[in-house]
Amino acid sequence: MSAPSFRKSRKAPSLSREASVRQGKVVQLAQAALGSVEAVRAFLNTHHEALGGRPIDIAVESDAGLAAVEAALPSEGKGRVEGITRVPEAPREEIRL
């Protein structure tokens, strides 16, 4: 009898290297433009009318898609995209060891 496997099964196909790079880049661009994690998640995972889909899906699909999503983001630090407003992050408490 073999030992049980604790490896998680993959339900979705893994991304290609190029798609992974685009995914990382779009997250970084959104973070620079929007600031908060909540605003980044909302923007990337919400259907965007002008783009015709979820920005994360469009950006991962191709370099042209990444460029389109980048163009849809506000200038760095402006914090506003189609009704998504930059939410200031709460100050972080210092952790002392």
State pLDDT tens for residues 26-40: 999 999 999 889 999
pTM value > 0.75: no
Summarize pLDDT for 38-87 with one digit per residue, the tens. 999 999 999 999 999 999 999 999 999 999 999 999 865 555 554 443 44
Cβ atoms of residues 72 and 55 within 8 Å: yes
pLDDT at residue 87, rounded to an integer: 44
Mind spelling out the 3-state secondary structure of the chain? CCCCCCCCCCCCCCCCHHHHHHHHHHHHHHHHHHCCHHHHHHHHHCCECCCCECHHHHHHHCHHHHHHHHHHCCCCCCCEECCEECCCCCCCCCCCC
